[in-house]
Amino acid sequence: TGTISSLQRQLEIQESQLRRTTSEKETLQRKLREHENQLQAMSAKICSLSEEREHEEMMMAIEKENCSLRQVVTEQESKLAEQNKLISELQGTVSQLRAEVLSSRQHIHKQQQAQQEIQSQAEALQHRELQTRVALECITSRFERYRSKIIQATFSTAGSKPPQAEVTDEEVLEAMQKIINERLEFHQMLKQKGIK
């Protein structure tokens, strides 16, 4: 946005300079036309003179004035050429600045779109994270209830000592394996005695 403001400021300055230069060019062209009109008027005066002496004096004066006017015209034409060159350069600069402003706006628009997409993805990820946490808490709660029931069932059998402290998963598995082994031994013993 700062770049666009700077470019627009430069664009306004260049356009103002272009208008000023164009105005100067028009002024020079007007002066040039005035001098040409003066030259034509002087030429008309030459044709209208009847006396040769006055004609010669007038011719000298006119020639002198014509020389001065030609010099002025030459200078004005030189200035006009410079102004035309400056106008061309200013028009090129203005076009370049406009292109840079357009490019900057397009770049900012793309950045805003990318930011919106990232924001949308972040919101989706946050939503998924929340869902995952809820599911994890639910699974953890069920796992703890299931573990508690296993511990209760394991250590509530006859001959088992209730745990005095928190039981690890390995201790629970050991106790369950012991109960299973005892049941298998008891089953084998009944089978050997022929008891169903």
Query: Could you report the per-residue pLDDT of 26-64, keeping only the tens digit for each?
Result: 998 999 889 889 888 887 777 766 666 666 777 788 888
**Is residue 134 a part of any domain in this protein?**
yes
Q: Return the amino acid letter for 119.
A: Q
Range of the domain at 131: 122-193
Q: Return the amino acid letter for 188.
A: Q
What confidence score (pLDDT) does residue 128 get? 95
61 HSE (CA, 13 A, CB side) = 9
Is the Cβ–Cβ distance between 96 and 45 less than 8 Å?
A: no
Give residue for tokens 């796992």: 143
Query: Which contiguous run of DSSP H or E holds residue 192?
Result: helix 169-192
Mean predicted lDDT score pLDDT of the chain: 86
**Is residue 136 a part of any domain in this protein?**
yes
Residues 95, 53: one domain? yes
**Is residue 3 a part of any domain in this protein?**
no
- Regions of the chain with pLDDT less than 50: none
Residues 15, 110: one domain? yes
Sign of the dihedral through C-alpha 148, 150, 153, 155: negative
Is the Cβ–Cβ distance between 46 and 59 less than 8 Å?
A: yes
CA diameter of the chain: 169
- pTM for this one? 0.43
Number of domains in the chain: 2
What confidence score (pLDDT) does residue 1 get? 74
Residues 79, 126: one domain? no
What confidence score (pLDDT) does residue 129 get? 95
What confidence score (pLDDT) does residue 164 get? 64
